[in-house]
């Protein structure tokens, strides 16, 4: 953990590192989840990764393990979280008025590269995810660049999992070091998208189109929420759009479930295997290929 | 229970087949004899469960594992069995099946069926793929139905050949428990697409198990080796005369501190383990006349290529006890598998065991030595973890798991079975399975074994059972010998709760610990 002032291109606020994932891009991947998101999705499965902690200190006294401490670095306040004391009771999350989490760690490029290095034989690459990873773009560029310029790491593919809100200028800066992107298309219609995420989807379409043109669009993800998302009502337009994407792009269908969800979305119906298969068949009928279905349906696992 | 009562119990058991009853009756008869002669201390340690002879029987009259030189047999035939040398593919399959019925083992069913692709390739000649497929399918079914024991083990690889590919295809299609299957991987020889076929199979049916071929080959000689039963690596044309295992948890419990463990208690119990090994192998080699058999006369096995296996288990508990951490809280960050110091202590224990086993001579052993083995557990083990494994349900993510255990593998030439539990999501990503496998082997894993949760075939301690069989067994028994053991193992070892850990980020990003 850093005690120096925070420098955006050299350090990142990380909510979690997953050493192994097989659902965040091709092959076996280390996934770095960055804290902070510019969307406010009602259906977010981990809402406390949306906002960055402002060190108000409200949660400290409530931690039963005394795992949280307040420190001052320079003039700035910070919350330090002791991973080894924490029992993951999540009291701090329920206390936080910002819907944030004190359980984050600041990593430098060097620290992350050391972690990646130690497991370079076991992975095909790394994925940065979130939150919204592109909000910490200078860091992501630096990290990818370091990997690509380190001889024994250069074979690792560098992917980003994104909500697609990054500007084309931003994508241009990342492009030289990027192997592929997984982009969420949360809804077809502007209104629906705004209802779910509180943001427009113009940028998302721009990102998808641009990434596709650069051969960097690995996957488009559709999270289906019955009665909420508009994939079925807009199926013709949607299919028409997806059909134009490169044949190398996967269309991944995900099923909404209630795990971790808060607020109004708790009342939304979960998406079943039947729902997903219906959506898949509608897309296939309209000649959308490369569809990937979920391997498990969490809402149906007892 | 008196002997008569036990015999009556076996005979009247509603679930055992006649053949299974015969086997248990023979065990009762053998065990009604006095135990091979050992000191009072060794006997006490055995009775206290500190050392364990794996219930091999009181008077060993056959080796635990036998690995005949099947290639020699196919080329020379057998006087004793009145078999002439195999001329074609059908001959070879027939001859193998004949010999299998004459290869003894602790379970009475052969544990090693040979390096089948190497054995059969010389007989392929101009047969087409379809003919090979049909013949091998019948052979695979015949093995499963006539020798129904998941400890029975076939080896294939590391070369790319049609037998190897066809057997992988058949194994995935039939999803049988038997035979167990090891695929040898050599990064210099095995093409990626063949390894991918093997790792694809793991996603489909939790088989094969992938062996680090160069690493194993280095542990033996030019005559070769085989992987048998629960991932035991042994000299070809030889085997294991006995397996005695040491319960490290118990050893730790007898120690007042870490120094006492290394300097006094561990050496003492190792010495008793050796005493039991010597007594059991002396009886087998000197009194049982096993080594007068045709297998020796026809040079299919050599007495000097049999070694005792020095097994260990309960490493996880031993480490936690020595560090003063309760084994009830396996999941805390301080325990074995999770904490660096705990892992380092475990490694020191493996090093100390290696030092003892590679320097202690035995009377009957390959190069006069026993072979160290991380033992994968038996169905009766309660509250003690197999070998050097991390306890069921408390394993870290697969990568940390590999990192925690990779260094141990070099010390266990007779095999170290660890199981990586993976969630079903990996089924959609066999490339990930392949990379995990390659990575683990390149980091020093001697063998790579994975278990994909919720597949029909699942791995128990080290062998396979069908999930549906496990559920049915308590009601109506099973055709397969090992299912009984597995039902016991599932009830005792918390195996059914082995944690599935690969979680889709979108679906449950926070379930990961
Ligand atoms: S989850 Fe939060 S409140 Fe609970 S122990 Fe950890 S830091 Fe403290
Ligand atoms: S996590 Fe929330 S409550 Fe705790 S210091 Fe940060 S903003 Fe305040």
Residue nearest to atom 6 of ligand 1 (CA): A86
Is the Cβ pair B507, A259 closer than 8 Å? Answer: yes
As given in the structure block, the two tokens for residue A49 are 């990764």
State the nearest Cα–Cα gap between B173 and chain A, in angstroms: 20
Tens-place pLDDT, residues A46-59: 888 899 999 999 99
Domain edges within chain A: 11-49+105-292, 60-95
CB contact at 8 A, A28 and B436: yes
Instruction: Estimate to the nearest angstrom the gap between the alpha carbon of B503 and the chain centroid.
Output: 29
The average pLDDT across B91-95 equals 97
In the predicted structure, residue B468 carries a pLDDT above the cut 80? no
Ligand 1 centroid – CA B333 distance (Å): 15
**Which residues in A have their CB inside 8 Å of a CB on B?**
16, 18-24, 26-31, 33, 45-46, 83-84, 88, 118-119, 121-124, 129, 161, 221, 223, 254-255, 257, 259-260, 292, 294-296, 298
Please state which of the ranges A19-23, B88-92, B369-373, B424-428 shows the lowest mean pLDDT: B424-428
Pocket test for ligand 2, best of A50, A51, A53, A101 (most atoms within 8 A of CB): A53
Q: In this predicted structure, what is the pLDDT of residue A263?
A: 86
Q: The sheet that has A217-224: what strands, in order across it?
A: A105-108, A11-21, A29-34, A125-129, A157-162, A180-184, A217-224, A250-255, A291-292
- If contacts are CB pairs under 8 Å, which of residues 427-456 in chain B contact chain A? 427-429, 431-436, 438-440, 442-443
E strand intervals along A154-216: 157-162, 180-184
Tens-place pLDDT, residues B310-340: 999 999 999 999 999 877 765 567 899 999 9
Query: Among positive and negative, which fits the CA dihedral A122, A127, A131, A135?
Result: positive
Ligand 2 centroid – CA A262 distance (Å): 18
Ligand 2 centroid – CA A265 distance (Å): 24
Please state which of the ranges A151-165, A231-245, B163-177, B450-464 shows the lowest mean pLDDT: B450-464
Reference A48, options A56, A61, A36, A33; nearest CA is A36
In the predicted structure, residue B495 carries a pLDDT above the cut 50? no
In the predicted structure, residue B36 carries a pLDDT above the cut 50? yes
- If contacts are CB pairs under 8 Å, which of residues 371-410 in chain B contact chain A? 397-400, 402-403
Q: Give Cα separations from B200 to A218, B96, B150 (angstroms).
A: 22, 28, 21
Interface check for B423 against chain A (CB to CB < 8 A): the answer is yes
Residues in chain B: 513
A-chain CB neighbours of B429 within 8 Å are 22-23, 26-28
Is the Cβ pair A23, B424 closer than 8 Å? Answer: no
Nearest-ligand number for the alpha carbon of A48: 2
Question: Best interface-test mutation with A: which of B510, B511, B513 has the largest number of A CBs within 10 A?
Answer: B510
Query: Among positive and negative, which fits the CA dihedral A183, A184, A185, A190?
Result: negative
More confident residue, B147 or A241: A241
* pLDDT confidence band for B487 (50 / 70 / 90): low
pTM for the model: 0.86
B179 upstream amide cis, omega within 30 of 0: yes
Tens-place pLDDT, residues A186-197: 999 999 999 999
Question: Best interface-test mutation with B: which of A33, A121, A159 has the largest number of B CBs within 10 A?
Answer: A121
**H-only helix segments in B206-327:** 213-219, 248-253, 258-260, 266-282, 294-297, 315-322
Which residue from B428, B442, B511 is facing A292, i.e. has the nearest CB? B428
The average pLDDT across B288-309 equals 97
Ligand 1 centroid – CA B109 distance (Å): 55
Residue nearest to atom 7 of ligand 2 (CA): A53
In the predicted structure, residue B213 carries a pLDDT above the cut 60? yes
Kind plus residue range of the DSSP H or E element containing B238: strand B238-247
Please state which of the ranges B281-285, B327-331, B491-495 shows the lowest mean pLDDT: B491-495
Bridge-based pairing of strands B225-228 and B306-313 is unpaired
Establish whether residue A57 lines the binding site of ligand 2, counting it when its CB lies within 6 angstroms of any ligand atom.
yes
A-chain CB neighbours of B438 within 8 Å are 121
Mean pLDDT, rounded, of chain A? 91
B-chain CB neighbours of A123 within 8 Å are 399, 435, 439
Task: Domain A11-49+105-292: give its CATH code.
Answer: 3.20.20.70
Establish whether residue A98 lines the binding site of ligand 2, counting it when its CB lies within 6 angstroms of any ligand atom.
yes
Ligand 1 centroid – CA A96 distance (Å): 12
Is the Cβ pair A45, B509 closer than 8 Å? Answer: yes
Please state which of the ranges A2-6, A170-174, B330-334, B411-415 shows the lowest mean pLDDT: A2-6
Q: Which residue of A has its CA nearest to B400?
A: A19
Q: Which atom of ligand 1 is least distant from the CA of A103?
A: 7
Distance CA A129, CA B37 (A): 65
Q: HSE-up of B197 (CA within 13 Å, CB side)?
A: 23
Q: Which residues on adjacent β-strands are paired with residue B270? A: none
* pLDDT confidence band for B509 (50 / 70 / 90): very low
Mean pLDDT, rounded, of chain B? 88
């Amino acid at each position: 953990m850093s005690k120096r002032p925070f420098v955006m291109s050299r350090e990142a606020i990380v909510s979690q590192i997953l050493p192994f994932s097989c659902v965040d891009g091709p092959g076996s991947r280390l996934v770095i989840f960055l804290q902070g998101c510019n969307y406010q999705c009602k259906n977010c499965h981990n809402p406390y990764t949306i906002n960055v902690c402002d060190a108000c200190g409200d949660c400290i006294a409530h931690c039963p393990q005394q795992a949280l401490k307040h420190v001052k670095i320079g003039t700035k306040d910070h919350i330090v979280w002791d991973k080894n004391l924490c029992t993951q009771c999540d009291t701090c999350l329920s206390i936080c008025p910002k819907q944030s989490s004190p359980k984050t760690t600041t990593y430098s490029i060097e620290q992350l590269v050391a972690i990646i290095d130690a497991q370079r034989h076991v992975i095909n690459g790394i994925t940065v995810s979130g939150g919204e990873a592109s909000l910490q773009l200078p860091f992501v560029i630096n990290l990818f660049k370091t990997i690509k310029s380190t001889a024994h790491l250069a074979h690792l593919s560098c992917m980003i999992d994104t909500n697609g809100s990054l500007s084309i200028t931003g994508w241009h800066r990342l492009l030289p070091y990027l192997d592929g992107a997984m982009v969420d298309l949360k809804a077809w219609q502007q209104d629906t998208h705004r209802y779910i995420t509180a943001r427009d989807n113009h940028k998302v379409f721009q990102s998808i189109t641009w990434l596709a043109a650069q051969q960097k669009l690995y996957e488009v993800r559709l999270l289906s929420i019955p009665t909420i998302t508009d994939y079925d009502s807009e199926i013709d337009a949607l299919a028409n759009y997806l059909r134009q994407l490169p044949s190398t792009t996967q269309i991944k269908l995900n099923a909404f479930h209630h795990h971790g969800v808060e607020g109004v979305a708790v009342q939304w119906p979960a998406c079943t295997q039947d729902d997903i298969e219906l959506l898949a068949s509608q897309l296939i009928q309209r000649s959308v290929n490369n569809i990937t279905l979920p391997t498990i349906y969490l809402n149906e696992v007892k | 229970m008196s002997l008569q009562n036990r015999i009556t119990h076996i005979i009247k058991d509603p679930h055992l087949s006649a053949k299974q009853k015969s086997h248990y009756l023979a065990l009762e008869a053998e065990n009604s004899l006095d135990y091979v002669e050992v000191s009072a201390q060794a006997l006490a340690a055995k009775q206290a469960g500190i050392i364990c002879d794996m219930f091999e029987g009181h008077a060993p009259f056959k080796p635990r594992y036998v690995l005949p030189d099947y290639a020699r047999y196919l080329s020379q035939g057998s006087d004793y069995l009145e078999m002439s040398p195999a001329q074609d593919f059908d001959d070879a399959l027939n001859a193998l099946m004949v010999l299998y019925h004459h290869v003894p083992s602790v379970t009475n069913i052969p544990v090693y069926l040979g390096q089948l692709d190497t054995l059969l390739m010389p007989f392929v000649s101009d047969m087409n793929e379809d003919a090979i497929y049909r013949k091998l399918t019948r052979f695979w079914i015949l093995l499963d139905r006539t020798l129904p024991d998941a400890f029975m083990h076939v080896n294939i690889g590391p070369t790319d050949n049609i037998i190897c590919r066809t057997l992988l295809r058949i194994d995935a299609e039939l999803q049988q428990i038997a035979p167990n299957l090891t695929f040898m991987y050599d990064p210099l020889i095995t093409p990626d697409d063949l390894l991918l076929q093997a790792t694809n199979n793991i996603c489909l049916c939790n088989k094969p198990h992938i062996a680090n071929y160069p690493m194993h080959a280095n542990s033996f000689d030019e005559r070769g080796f085989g992987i048998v039963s629960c991932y035991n690596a042994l000299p070809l044309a030889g085997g294991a005369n006995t397996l005695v295992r040491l319960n490290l948890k118990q050893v730790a419990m007898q120690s007042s501190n870490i120094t006492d463990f290394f300097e006094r208690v561990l050496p003492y119990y190792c010495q008793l383990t050796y005493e039991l090994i010597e007594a059991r192998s002396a009886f087998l080699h000197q009194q049982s006349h096993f080594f007068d058999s045709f297998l020796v006369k026809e040079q299919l096995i050599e007495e000097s290529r049999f070694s005792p296996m020095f097994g260990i288990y309960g490493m996880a508990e031993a480490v936690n006890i020595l560090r003063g951490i309760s084994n009830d809280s396996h999941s805390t960050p301080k325990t074995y598998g999770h904490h660096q110091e705990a892992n380092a202590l475990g490694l020191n224990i493996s090093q100390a065991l290696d030092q003892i086993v590679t320097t202690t001579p035995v009377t009957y052993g390959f190069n006069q030595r026993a072979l160290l083995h991380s033992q994968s557990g038996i169905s009766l083990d309660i509250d003690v973890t197999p070998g050097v494994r991390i306890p069921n349900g408390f394993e870290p993510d697969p990568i940390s798991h590999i990192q925690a255990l990779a260094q141990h593998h070099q010390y266990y030439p007779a095999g170290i079975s660890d199981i990586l539990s993976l969630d079903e999501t990996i089924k959609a990503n066999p490339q990930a399975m392949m990379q995990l496998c390659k990575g683990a082997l390149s980091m020093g894993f001697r063998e790579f074994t994975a278990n994909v949760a919720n597949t029909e075939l699942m791995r128990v301690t080290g062998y396979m059972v069908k999930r549906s069989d496990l559920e049915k067994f308590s009601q109506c028994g099973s055709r397969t010998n090992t299912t009984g053991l597995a039902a016991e193992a599932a009830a005792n070892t918390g195996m059914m709760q082995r944690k599935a850990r690969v979680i889709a980020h979108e679906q449950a990003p926070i379930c990961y610990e």
